[in-house]
Amino acid sequence: MTGTQALLAAVGAGVRTYDLGRRLTIGMPQSPNHPPFWHALPRRHGDNVRADGGSAANDIITMGTHVGTHIDAFAHVSQDGRLVDGSDAAVAGRGGRFAELGAHTIAPMVRRGVLLDVPAALGQPDGCPPGYEITPQDLSAAAQRQGTPIRPGDVVLIRSGWGRLFDHEDRTRYVGHASGVPGVGAAGATWLADAGAHAVGADTIAFECLRPGAGHSVLPAHRVLLVERGVYIIETMALEELAADAVHEFLFVLSPLAIFGATGSPVRPLAVIANG
Amino acid sequence: MTGTQALLAAVGAGVRTYDLGRRLTIGMPQSPNHPPFWHALPRRHGDNVRADGGSAANDIITMGTHVGTHIDAFAHVSQDGRLVDGSDAAVAGRGGRFAELGAHTIAPMVRRGVLLDVPAALGQPDGCPPGYEITPQDLSAAAQRQGTPIRPGDVVLIRSGWGRLFDHEDRTRYVGHASGVPGVGAAGATWLADAGAHAVGADTIAFECLRPGAGHSVLPAHRVLLVERGVYIIETMALEELAADAVHEFLFVLSPLAIFGATGSPVRPLAVIANG
Amino acid sequence: MTGTQALLAAVGAGVRTYDLGRRLTIGMPQSPNHPPFWHALPRRHGDNVRADGGSAANDIITMGTHVGTHIDAFAHVSQDGRLVDGSDAAVAGRGGRFAELGAHTIAPMVRRGVLLDVPAALGQPDGCPPGYEITPQDLSAAAQRQGTPIRPGDVVLIRSGWGRLFDHEDRTRYVGHASGVPGVGAAGATWLADAGAHAVGADTIAFECLRPGAGHSVLPAHRVLLVERGVYIIETMALEELAADAVHEFLFVLSPLAIFGATGSPVRPLAVIANG
Amino acid sequence: MTGTQALLAAVGAGVRTYDLGRRLTIGMPQSPNHPPFWHALPRRHGDNVRADGGSAANDIITMGTHVGTHIDAFAHVSQDGRLVDGSDAAVAGRGGRFAELGAHTIAPMVRRGVLLDVPAALGQPDGCPPGYEITPQDLSAAAQRQGTPIRPGDVVLIRSGWGRLFDHEDRTRYVGHASGVPGVGAAGATWLADAGAHAVGADTIAFECLRPGAGHSVLPAHRVLLVERGVYIIETMALEELAADAVHEFLFVLSPLAIFGATGSPVRPLAVIANG
């Protein structure tokens, strides 16, 4: 039996796939800095029926790439005019696309994934409070409690519990401008990078700790991860189901759209575990 | 060792991931029936530098869902006014979205995948001729030659060789209206459904055999697969690299964007094999 | 001197043109029922400089047609399944466009225009109160006070004073869902149609009187004007300058984009008066 | 009788309005350098019927601003890095919009318009040949033949006859990349500016003389008009009807959408003449 056959056998024996992406719907919460998601059907069934009785419907979508569940390409953020590779960020985007560090350069991920359930580690069943900064100690405590140390190359998903607000009828709640939003700061980001994370994710729009009313005025974790350390960031993830099932270790799969030159891509990441 | 740990061990031992998606670029070949892919950067680095020296760039995209590599939801095609579940197709799309059979209902796929390399089976190193209808015999011959019989639940990718034209400077070549395009017809589609395929894919825009000049006037394989048999179709795939490496069996992973109510989704499918 | 030369002479003697359209900007107030206005520059100067030193910048825009200052085509509203011409509204929109009553069928307007300054007539310097229904008596009083009776074929613009909120930093104020918005109801709409108005306009998003919290649940003036009487509606107009200058009678010019099959068009209407 | 009443009387005595704009339809000819026009109905009648039997349909559109009939803002073109006001073109577009010279700064036009019917002057009933450069002598001959000298402040529309190809079933014909397109060059543009034109227009996409196969590699008339002389350019106009009726002098009205910071705007210009 080849290695691939062993892999297929493992999958064939039964796996469960957790969907870590949010549904894309008109009006879902998103940052006002980005073009909103919109969808329409230019053609519906019955509009144009072929002689044989067949008919097709189709779509138009318009959106930013940092809406819904998405991954940030390294081109997304610069510091002091430089991207992660030291290149001049303004020059890199000339022509309206980032040829070197755009979304098309994000390699698909098939890696070990670890969920760090921070509220569980902190004993906060309702999730981290608004504006709470998740510390390296919190991350470490979560990893230890779960028995899932981070290994180099892992994808590390940080649950703050904020994801429960995604479907709140007041869509400004999840965005959290007034209340603030829990997340890591520079220290937590550094801890994640030091642990060797290939990519990190969270159940919030901005990944970061946002202070009440501060909005996106400073985004230190983005600086650390995207510019200084070369770690991808995945945002607006759905992590509640993993947490409810206490799934802390899994095969993480993410395949961004290869949008040439873009600063990010909408994605639907997966966590795969073996049954039984 | 749990099953998940075995899965992670298999991956940790080394896998190779083939990217089966095409890059999304402005001007790439696509059907004129669908809104074209377009991308711009509303914000570039330097437009708005924060006090701490940080800057973010972002995107706007507009596109159909049947452009680039994509998967058809069952809502895409109807026959005699009915969708695959027997529902009235016009009623199902009321409100501008398909709540029951839209793209958000396509479960992510982590399954055995099989590439049927038809030109290899037929001894046609330059690929199937334009307009050639790939027959059940061709499919069967390819599976047999490769030693990769189709099993129920598989994702079956049919290589016609047409993918070599995707990057042709004359972008009408890949669309192939004048020349015709190779692919299966109703017979081949039926064979695939009978074999138990969960989804099928091809290296062409329309999956189907298109006769020269006929365009999309009839799409019998779509009818068989999407309406009669409930088999998903993946189009505009990049299959040349798999074929060049003679990779005919693999772990297939596809995670469509959960676009609520849409008739399809852009995707970047993966084929994963074990190294060595 | 021909009639055209007389017309040119009148213009040549000096005219003043009032801009009755709102500026289209990202984030401007608009109804959440419609795709928001968004704009980006795919190409900027310097991206692609020609050998001769020339460079061009360009745009992408995405928007609904009922955002910003716009005109409703008759296709926009139906009552009991019928459009103004008695046609079946669902059938008329088949194919995703209204071939008969779409925006492309709105003839450009070069007509007498009358501003009815309702707050001035009612002695309300701060404008009509939120949710106030402008009555036929109010309209009649304004016309009489100004000495500008409505004549058949006129375009009648109704100032409620609400336009002062368009640039309010809280963009929900102008939309006015919570507060309600002043405007005519069925009675006022009937009065306008009876007076022979060719088109009517207002300084609010919905033209109608909206009760606090009721939103767009009922739109009786739309029914009367667009479906029963065949009178166009222009919304989100800028009428403050006309009112400040006490310009109540003018040459009204409006030239909608001929968007084939659309339910409306963004416009920038003009009021032209002779100097001196 | 006030001046405004005289103006209204002139209009009231009967005017004819010529529509100089092209219909916006999916698939119409346009330059591939710009995002194509697309339109869909997110909501159709019957999707969401209110309790009172009312129903509304609406639209989404996505497009460049240099598609269909449109006007170029001065921000559109730079020469050696400078815009018409001498400002740095790259700096002016920072933030993704041109605050100083964008489309929102184009004042609506209510001016004398002159059609220069070049094919009529040259005795070419089928229009100017592909790639023909319209010379100052041609322009002068047309003005003289018609008895319509250009006066400072006029809008001057140059008919080449190419507009007959706009509806050609081969949509590449009107774009004319292979054949070339007739139009003025630097000399003709200079003549127009010297004559005092406020804006100029043509019945072609690029206004310019395009040599066969050369495309938009050099656009000298744009340089002269938009950068050196401050004259607006209107493209893709419908001038055949004016020419057929031998209407060479008229009231020209154009009201661009006030798209903040854009490099152009779709428009529907009008030519108004007195009846009789």
What is the average per-residue pLDDT within C52-80? 97
Picking from D16, D38, D48, D58 by the largest number of C CB atoms within 10 A of its own CB, the best residue to mutate is D58
Structure tokens at B161: 């060789």
Q: Which of A35, A42, A96 sits opposite C42 (nearest CB)?
A: A96
- Per-residue pLDDT at C275: 86
Compute the CA torsion angle A178, A184, A190, A195 (nearest 10 deg): -160
- Which residues on A lie below 8 Å from C38 (Cβ)? 35-36, 62
Residues in chain C with CB shorter than 8 Å from the CB of D220 are 52
* Residue of higher predicted confidence among C3 and B107: B107
pLDDT (tens digit per residue) in B145-170: 999 999 999 999 999 999 999 999 99
**Tokens (6 digits) for A149:** 């140390």
φ, ψ dihedrals at D10, nearest 5°? -60, -40
* 3-class DSSP state of A157: strand
d(CA C139, CA D126): 55
The two structure tokens encoding residue C16: 């003043």
Q: What is the pLDDT of residue B132?
A: 98
Report the predicted TM-score, pTM, of the whole model to 2 decimal places.
0.97
**Single-letter amino acid code for the residue at D130:** P
Q: Which percentage of chain A shows pLDDT scores above 90?
A: 92
Residue C173: per-residue pLDDT: 96
Q: In D16-133, where does DSSP find H-type helix?
A: 89-92, 118-122
pLDDT digits (tens, 9 = 90+) for A78-135: 999 999 999 999 999 999 999 999 999 999 999 999 999 999 999 999 999 999 999 9
> Is C7 within 8 Å of D273 when comparing Cβ atoms?
yes
What does the pLDDT average to over D179-207?
Answer: 98
Pairing of strands D15-19, D270-274: antiparallel
Residue D250 has pLDDT above 80, yes or no: yes
- Residue C119 C-alpha, separation from nearest chain B C-alpha, in angstroms: 40
Side by side, the strands of the sheet bearing B15-19 are B15-19, B270-274, B249-254, B109-117, B155-159, B199-202, B232-235, B70-72, B264-266
Q: Among B50, C44, B46, which residue's Cα sits nearest to residue D93? A: C44
**What's the rounded Cα separation, in Å, for the pair A127 and B83?**
43
For residue C1, pLDDT over 70 is answered with: no
| Residue C63 and residue C38 in contact, taking contact as beta carbons nearer than 8 Å | yes
Sign of CA dihedral B151, B153, B154, B157: positive
For residue D9, give the 3-state DSSP assignment. helix
ipTM rounded to 2 decimals:
0.96
What are the tokens at A237?
């993830």
Tokens read off for A225: 């991860």
For residue B111, the one-letter residue type is: R
- Cα→Cα distances B150→A68, B75, B234, B250, B271, Å: 36, 26, 17, 12, 16
d(Cα C223, Cα C186) in Å, to the nearest integer?
8
3-state secondary structure of C85: coil
Pairing of the two strands D77-79 and D264-266? unpaired
- Chain C interface test: which of B47, B48, B59, B60 (most C C-beta within 10 Å): B60
Nearest residue in B to C60, CA atom: B40
Which residues of chain D make contact with B62, given a CB cutoff of 8 A?
35, 38, 62
> How many angstroms separate the CA atoms of B10 and A11, rounded?
11
pLDDT of residue B209: 97
| Contacts with A94 from chain C: Cβ below 8 Å | 46-47
What is the CATH number that goes with domain D3-23+65-274?
3.50.30.50
Does the distance separating the beta carbons of C62 and B40 come in below 8 Å? no
Neighboring chain B residues of C41 at a CB cutoff of 8 Å: 40-42
Given a cut of 90, whether residue A158 has pLDDT beyond it is yes
* pLDDT (0 to 100) of residue D22: 98
Nearest to A230, CA basis, from A76, A46, A27:
A76
pLDDT of residue B94: 96
Residue D276 has pLDDT above 80, yes or no: no
β-strands A264-266, A232-235 pairing:
unpaired
In angstroms, the separation between the Cα of residue B263 and the nearest Cα of chain A is 6
- pLDDT score at A82: 98
| Cβ distance of D96 and B42 shorter than 8 Å | yes
Across the range B76-99, mean pLDDT stands at: 98
Establish, for the pair of chains A and C, how many residue pairs have beta carbons separated by less than 8 Å: 34
Mean pLDDT over D156-182 rounds to 96
Q: Which tens digit of pLDDT belongs to each residue from D54-93?
A: 999 999 999 999 999 999 999 999 999 999 999 999 999 9
Identify whether the C-beta of residue C91 lies closer than 8 Å to the C-beta of residue C42: no
Q: Which chains touch A (3 or more CB pairs under 8 A)?
A: B, C, D
Q: Touching C: which chains, 3+ CB pairs < 8 A?
A: A, B, D
Tens-place pLDDT, residues D30-53: 998 999 999 999 999 999 999 899
Length of chain D: 276
Which H, E and C letters describe C183-229, residue by residue?
EECHHHHHHHHHCCCCEEEECCCCCECECCCCCCCCCHHHHHHHHHH
Candidates B47, B65, B66, partner chain D, best to mutate (most D CBs within 10 A): B47
Going by pLDDT thresholds of 50, 70 and 90, the confidence category of residue A5 is: confident
Nearest to D81 among C41, C46, C275 (CB): C46
Listed in sequence order, the residues at least 6 apart from C82 whose beta carbon sits closer than 8 Å to its beta carbon are C88, C89, C227
Cβ D38–B35 below 8 Å, yes or no? yes
Report how far residue B230's alpha carbon sits from residue B209's, in angstroms, rounded to the nearest whole number.
Answer: 20
pLDDT band at D26 (very low <50, low <70, confident <90, very high): very high
Q: Which of A43, A45, A62 to mutate to test the interface with C (most CBs of C within 10 A)?
A: A62
Residues of chain D in Cβ contact (below 8 Å) with chain B: 27, 32, 35-36, 38, 40-44, 46-48, 62, 94-96
Out of A47-51, A253-257, C4-8, C203-207, pick the least confident.
Answer: C4-8
Looking at beta carbons, which residues of chain A come within 8 Å of D41? 40-42
